[in-house]
Structure 1
């Protein structure tokens, strides 16, 4: 009797697996393979995001994009932006807050000045 039950369970298991494979996408792309097989080779696995570096990475990427926009807006290549350069480049954050960013009253802001301003604003927002 137990042998008969085992044979039935095995047949049902094979049928379920065959049906799942028949329904799986026929592509070799990693996204197609993710749904088809329960095991993925390491090359096809998505890397797990480390919780300790996750938020830092999320802040790093936009900062790098902002730095590229800042450098592209620096038309004279001196490493700083005037209010006009910021306005022409569409950097409205710099344009609207120019006097707060330019704490030394030089008439130009560096990327470090902008970062310090953004960090200060973020800390002020978190303290509320």
Structure 2
């Protein structure tokens, strides 16, 4: 019985070393750009979560994609969008909720305004 346990322990250790060496061999250098590594861009340490916490990572990636679309829609480079710019860019969430997002009634919304609106909407949905 002890011999069987010892053999199983040895096999587990050997398998661990094999996986570690294979992972090390496949790890690209830090100089390799993220696209060539097949990975997402740098995530700040505060957003790095174990795989079980994938919702945070998905939310971060969604916000980053929305930010890129927002910046692309900002044709005049003002850092804000008018309702018309949002409509032309196909940012339906911003277009349809423009009056709720533009709480200062400026006729322009910043990306921070959009984020604040989305956070409030998510909190309202979670409180139901």
The bucket for the TM-score relative to the shorter chain is 0.5 to 0.7
Determine if the alignment matches structure 1 residue 84 to structure 2 residue 84: yes
* 1:14-54 deviation per Cα after TM superposition (whole angstroms, max 9, x unaligned): xxxxxxxxxxxxxxxxxxxxxxx994322359xxx615753
TM-score between both structures, scaled by the size of structure 2: 0.63
Q: Which residue pairs with 1:42 in the alignment?
A: 23
Structure 1 stretches lacking a partner, 5+ long? 1-36
**How many pairs align?**
89
5+ unaligned residues in a row in structure 2: which ranges? 1-14, 28-48
Whole-angstrom CA distance in 1 between matches of 2:91 and 2:75: 13
Rounded to whole Å, the distance in 1 between the matches of 2:53 and 2:112 is 22
Aligned-partner SS, 1:115: helix
Aligned to 1:22: none
* 3-state SS of paired residue (2:106): coil
Structure 2 equivalent of residue 67 of structure 1: 67
User: In the TM superposition, what are the counterparts of 1:1-128 in structure 2 within 5 Å?
Assistant: 39-40=18-19, 41-43=22-24, 44=26, 50-51=50-51, 54-128=54-128
Larger radius of gyration: 1
Structure 1 partner of 2:31 = none
Paired residue secondary structure (1:106): coil
Over aligned residue pairs, what C-alpha RMSD do you find? 2.2
TM (norm. structure 1) is 0.63
Q: Deviations over 1:56-100 (max 9, x none)?
A: 211100100000000000010000000000000000000000000
